[in-house]
Structure 1
């Protein structure tokens, strides 16, 4: 994980992923682990929310843009 910003209803992540592993597997792993850890830390979530994440996600490839520009974009989301 290169950069991350959490928002009230979504998360911005800048990650480098091995194409052999795949984006879908990475998203599934991140959602699964974060859900388990949050439910352990905040047990009331188990009974109040059937699922912490939706099944959907958005992915954009940033192959042509300089990494510094993308990092700045993700960092700037906290100010919105």
Structure 2
């Protein structure tokens, strides 16, 4: 059951909007490793702070990303994923020249689902389980 603490307030709205995103690098290349993976996490954390979003869970695997993020109701899934993909692609390709070998860092595709409080915990456990492969 939801408690008042589970909801956020912004202006005159009380809300709980959680998105689970999954996306892959172009050609599903296993490029999200070592320093690139670390830097990806840093870029995402900074962007989330700037936008007022909360990253609830994040997995940066070599060939895909799972991002579970809580956003404001005015932030559509398309704009959220666009922000994460655009910022990370721009920064990572400047900082790691080997990523310029790909025509773009990310594919244009992505998966998104919404999750309320009960299913949010299930999504978090799934992302944090190293065996979900």
Aligned residues: 78
Gaps of 5+ in 2: 1-54
Q: Provide the alpha-carbon RMSD of the alignment.
A: 1.6
What whole-Å deviation, never above 9, does each CA across 1:21-43 have from its counterpart, x for those lacking one? 21100100100011111112212
Matched, 1:57 2:110: yes
Name the structure 1 match of 2:71: 17
- Show structure 1 runs of 4+ deviating over 4 A: none
Instruction: State the TM-score, normalizing by the size of structure 2.
Output: 0.53
Asked which structure has the greater CA Rg, the reply is: 2
- Indicate conservation of the 8 Å contact 1:17/1:23, yes or no: no
| TM-score normalised per structure 1 | 0.82
2:22 corresponds to: none
Q: Structure 1 stretches of 5 or more lacking a match?
A: none
1:42 to 2:96 alignment: yes
- Larger RCO, structure (CA 8 Å, separation 6 or more): 1
Q: Give the structure with the larger strand fraction.
A: 2
